[in-house]
Amino acid sequence: MTRDPGAAPELVVMVGVPGCGKSTWVAEHLAATHAVVSKDHWPNARHRELRQRRMVDELLAAGRSIVVDNTNPTPADRASLIESARAHGVPARAVHVDAPLEVCLARNAAREGRGRVPERAVLSIHRRLVPPSVAEGFQRVDVVRG
Ligand SMILES: Nc1ncnc2c1ncn2[C@@H]1O[C@H](COP(=O)(O)OP(=O)(O)OP(=O)(O)O)[C@@H](O)[C@H]1O
Ligand SMILES: [Mg+2]
């Protein structure tokens, strides 16, 4: 993981239902330049939310660019991340990976082991998902096809 010394740090918040292709997009577009933070890295840990928040704050304090690779479906899920970015004077960008529900369901069903989540979780997050907006505090919102 390297960082372009000329690039200003940013916080990227991924948004999208399980199986839409967030982690794949991150690996292709940001893994070389951004520290990847995800609650998925600690599937069994308690206080995953707090742990993630602490890691985001530490990395921002160190001047790193970060991408938070979770489903982050609602403004409430994203608010503390936007707040951390603001506290460190770093712009927050949302990347909404938008793939059709049937595609997400099919990709999830094709996954092996822990990567696969219950179908009801895909449906529930799809139902709750609110597309990210500048009004929430993001400097920029990108929508990409998963
Ligand atoms: N653009 C794409 N075209 C075809 N297959 C894709 C594409 N993007 C992702 N996939 C495949 O779909 C599956 C799910 O992708 P991925 O793990 O990136 O989703 P995710 O959004 O990170 O899911 P989760 O929220 O559960 O972590 C993987 O098997 C991946 O290889
Ligand atoms: Mg993922």
pLDDT score for 41: 83
Run means of pLDDT, 10 residues per run, the chain, 146 residues: 69 98 97 94 82 95 97 97 97 98 97 92 98 98 95
Contact at 8 Å (CB) between 86 and 56? no
With a 6 Å cutoff on the Cβ, whether 128 touches ligand 1 is no
With a 6 Å cutoff on the Cβ, whether 72 touches ligand 1 is no
CA 61 / ligand 1 centre spacing (Å) = 31
Tell me the domain boundaries of the chain. Answer: 14-145
Which among 74, 107, 95 is positioned nearest to 138, based on CA atoms? 95
The C-alpha R_g of the chain, in whole angstroms, comes to 15
pLDDT score for 43: 75
14-145: in CATH 3.40.50.300: yes
